[in-house]
Structure 1
Amino acid sequence: MRFNALFDAWAATYDAVVAGADEEYADVFDGYDRILERVAEEVEGPPGALVVEIGVGTGNLTRKLLARGYRVIGVEPSQAMRAEARRKAIGADIREGSFLHLPLDDERVWAFVSTYAFHHLTDAEKEEAVRLMAARLQPEGKIVFADTAFVDDAARRAAVEDARRRGFVRLVRDLENEYYPLVSDLEGMLARAGFRAFFERMNRYVWLWKAVRG
């Protein structure tokens, strides 16, 4: 997978970074635990409902889903991240896979969830991922994601210039080279797959979105 080497190397320090240890990414992860809680809240499933988390990382959201009584399949391409998630999120079924290679059999899914991962896909890959998830969802199922997105191109450019002014070289590189979507683009691709989407801004960079049928 495209970013496996990066995340294998990041696994040991990921939890410290999301807790604010890295100044460059402090704004990106501002309110990290609250963001994960909101994603878990928006699942709104019955006890035992199947939730598939894509890009589990070290298992932080996974643990919150388990605590709410869901059956959780965690999908993660990075071997090192999978090892951390299995250690921390006892009870989850952690599988190798990705947005585009869902390691599911005939499971019907109540919700797909993800945080800080969808931006690794190109726009075409995002469309395909939404199509794949839609095909696996129960009729009342939903998609609940939180990730960096921008309201328009001007907001994206402003974020880059602010990061450059502050000397955040790595953040600038990420903002210029990864595939951060516009909110309107997300809304459009979800609508084309038959979803209505609801958006909530969580911090300077991150938006939460919930997509439901119809």
Structure 2
Amino acid sequence: MATAPIIDFWFDFGSTYSYPACMRAQGLASSNGVVIRYRPFLLGPIFKAQGWDTSPFNIYESKGRYMWRDLERLCADLSIPFKKPVPFPQNSLLAARVALAGEGEAWRDKFCCAVFHAQFGESRSIDDPTVIREILQDVGAPARSFLELAQSDPIKLQLRTQTEEAGRLGIFGAPSFLTEDGELFWGNDRLEAAISWAKRLAEQNAGGRIMS
């Protein structure tokens, strides 16, 4: 029996376009027989390697102005709420650690999307432990135990390791989608292309052919 193709969804909770991507990914993947694997990481070290000390949307004013208006339009088209978070970018460290601590739990993917919703839909501060605790409770997770686990040395190491892996894979921004053959698709608007590629790859592999 053939296994479903897998796409790794690499994101930073502070990433603007990762918000609509998270809201869309699971539904699109499920309807296409594709599995989405959530891979949180930190963009800070990735940006630092490129010579940036903050988001490029802050560095380049016109680019940032366009992005916020584009995100506003996009969210309206998707019928999801949008409220610009202040400050931007927010510190995504705690949310990423909690997401890694919850890996394998039934509520984990819902938690990820709920964090994005809280930040970009309600302008809540995702670096606030109280906010993260409330989100955990809302998705049915034992908040106290997972907040404690998120501060453990193994989870801290796991996040550093996962961020380093993103760099090795050539990921330079978020959201990024990586198919099983290492093909990289960057941006919310490339989600459909990543799903199409993953499906075609699976079909060709099932037929014993190598994709060119």
Output the TM-score relative to the length of structure 1. Answer: 0.26
Higher helix share: 2
- Decide which structure has the larger Cα Rg and report it: 2
Structure possessing the higher relative contact order (Cα contacts under 8 Å, 6 or more residues apart): 2
Output the TM-score relative to the length of structure 2. Answer: 0.27
